[in-house]
């Protein structure tokens, strides 16, 4: 079954480390524009890990970040021109200083996966569900009124 996106955005970044921060900003800005700021923490973490992988493991060519809301979830994807035929997999936690990004992606996403559309480009994607109004998200309850201890709102 194919779902039509309620909204979608995509942009291309150079394969350099500074682009990881730009990708996080892109995701955060568009989530805010579409009233989905409550998902920003998880999706910023996800895009940070996926964009880092594109910079480190890609061919040096630009990568594309896409963000879309479809059927009650927001999907972020990073498409690069990686030259490797390896399938990204989460590593088991250990004392190494790198290689745990997909473990984090797996922990904060509802689902994630990898595809190759033409044998040259790798697309890694992850989804995060859109919470119902009033559902607990990121340490706050959406739709709730917060009253300070002194009674101010």
Counting residues of the chain whose pLDDT is more than 90, the rounded percentage is 53
Residue with tokens 């990708």: 23
- pTM of the entire predicted model: 0.76
Q: 47-98: per-residue pLDDT in tens?
A: 999 999 999 888 889 999 999 999 899 999 999 876 555 455 555 555 455 5
pLDDT band per the 50, 70, 90 thresholds, residue 147 = very low
Distance CA(79)–CA(13), nearest Å, equals: 10
Domains and CATH numbers, the chain: 7-141 (3.30.565.10)
> Residue 118 to residues 40, 81, 85, 140, 149: CA-CA distances in angstroms?
31, 10, 12, 42, 58
Distance CA(124)–CA(144), nearest Å, equals: 35
Query: DSSP states of the chain as a string?
Result: -----SEEEEEEE-SSTHHHHHHHHHHHHHHHHTT-GGGHHHHHHHHHHHHHHHHHHS-SS-EEEEEEEETTEEEEEEEE-----PPP-PPPP-S-SSS-HHHHHHHH-SEEEEEESSSS-EEEEEEEEPPPTT-EETTEETTPPP--TTS--
CA angle 128, 134, 139 (to 5 degrees): 65
Distance CA(84)–CA(62), nearest Å, equals: 16
pLDDT score at 102: 84
Q: Which two tokens stand for residue 13?
A: 């970044």
């Amino acid at each position: 079954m194919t779902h039509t996106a309620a909204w979608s955005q995509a942009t291309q970044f150079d394969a350099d480390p500074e682009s990881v921060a730009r990708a996080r900003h892109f995701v955060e800005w568009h989530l805010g524009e579409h009233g989905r700021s409550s998902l920003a923490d998880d999706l910023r973490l996800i895009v940070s890990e996926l964009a880092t992988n594109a910079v480190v493991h890609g061919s040096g060519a630009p990568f594309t970040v896409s963000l879309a809301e479809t059927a009650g979830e927001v999907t972020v994807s990073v498409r690069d021109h990686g030259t490797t035929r390896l399938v990204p997999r989460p590593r088991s936690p250990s004392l190494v200083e790198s290689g745990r990004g997909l473990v984090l992606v797996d922990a904060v996403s509802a689902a994630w996966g990898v595809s190759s559309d033409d044998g040259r480009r790798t697309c890694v994607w992850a989804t995060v569900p859109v919470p119902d109004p009033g559902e607990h998200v990121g340490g706050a309850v959406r739709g709730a009124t917060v009253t300070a201890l002194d009674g101010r709102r």
